[in-house]
Amino acid sequence: MAVSGRQTGRPTLEEVAARAGVGRGTVSRVINGSPRVSDRAKAAVGRAIAELGYVPNRAARALAGARTDAVALVIPETEARLFAEPYFLDIIRGVGAELADADKQLLLTLIRSSKERQRFEQYLAAQRVDGVLLVSVHADDPLPDVVRDLRIPAVLNGRRSEAEPAAYVDSDNVGAGRSAVDHLAGRGRRRIATIAGPLDMYVARCRLDGYRQGLAAAGLPVDEDLVASADFTEDGGRHAMRRLLERRPDLDAVFAASDVMAAGARGVLRETGRRIPEDVALIGVDDSAVARHMDPPLTSVRQPIEEMGRVMARVLLQEIAGADDAPRQLVLPTELVVREST
């Protein structure tokens, strides 16, 4: 078949898009019956498909009545971040165990650039997986909407906002921040700082809200000089801790929104001659190996990370099977684990 003066094999989605004068995503939505496409675009795509003789993979699979028996776990992070943070490894462990029990193949996908995102969207449009699990999703991430438009079952780890329409499994992040501050205030701390996560992530905003609720419950004022945000990395925790000490060198406690950021904060506190917990008490979130092996061992708010991975996979499998009674939005409880850092 000759297209644009060159010889090709089977027509591609990109060639259909070029012939129709629309984007690749529009072609995918037309093929998958999305209502979010204009009649004009539908007609253009229909003509291009007819002219090129394009056969969508989805149609071929539907005729065969087949499933791929594969599930994609998508983490929009680098390899360095993936292996440095116990959170991701625990999620993978939980997801992998549940899918193995169901005899499903796990496809781990890291998305580090717009090019990789585009490639993955093409992979999804070809219907090569039965479902998608998404971890570490930011507020402006369009991928959940792309997956929805392709009508592929999906479950998020966490939420993009309070009004998240997609299926998700989350933990009680507001409760995590509140319980941490309740504990610190109960130990007599009065100048409690926080290292929040990136505020374009709902999880970070919820933990910050919990921190503020804890202060209000203890009768303590909210002092914005005691609030610094970072990026859930150890380096981010270090930089945020330095900023906090510059603003309020008299602070006597720190709630870090992850154990990894707490580890960075601990290094700076030690460098500046502050003892933990005598001078500054320190709390993290996750109750990871980082918390247990820190010196002194870190008080941390435990969230059931591996269980979240299992539950995410379980909910997704129910959606793939078309179960009408499948739970769509679950929030799992958190628990404060007290150690020597407070």
Give residue 29's pLDDT band: very low, low, confident or very high (50, 70, 90).
Answer: confident
* Lowest-confidence segment of 64-78, 134-148, 299-313, 320-334 by average pLDDT: 64-78
Closest C-alpha among 231, 225, 297 to residue 258: 231
Q: Which helix (H) or strand (E) holds 194?
A: strand 192-196
The better pLDDT of the pair 97, 126 is held by 97
Q: Does 1 score more than 50 pLDDT?
A: no
* Lowest-confidence segment of 43-47, 239-243, 248-252, 328-332 by average pLDDT: 43-47
Q: How many whole angstroms separate alpha carbon 297 and alpha carbon 295?
A: 5
Q: What is the mean pLDDT of residues 101-107?
A: 89
Q: How many whole angstroms separate alpha carbon 315 and alpha carbon 318?
A: 5
Q: How many whole angstroms separate alpha carbon 177 and alpha carbon 257?
A: 8
Structure-token pair, residue 10: 């089977």
Q: How many whole angstroms separate alpha carbon 307 and alpha carbon 286?
A: 12
| Entry pTM | 0.77
The pLDDT assigned to 55 comes to 65
pLDDT single digits (tens) 124-165? 888 889 999 999 888 888 888 889 888 899 999 999 989 888
Asked, as a colleague might, if the bond just before 277 is cis with ω within 30 of 0, I would say yes
* Lowest-confidence segment of 55-69, 181-195, 326-340 by average pLDDT: 55-69
For residue 132, the tally of other CB atoms under 10 A from its CB is 25
Q: How many whole angstroms separate alpha carbon 155 and alpha carbon 316?
A: 6
Q: Which helix (H) or strand (E) holds 208?
A: helix 202-217
Whether the CB-CB separation of 336 and 183 falls below 8 Å is answered with yes
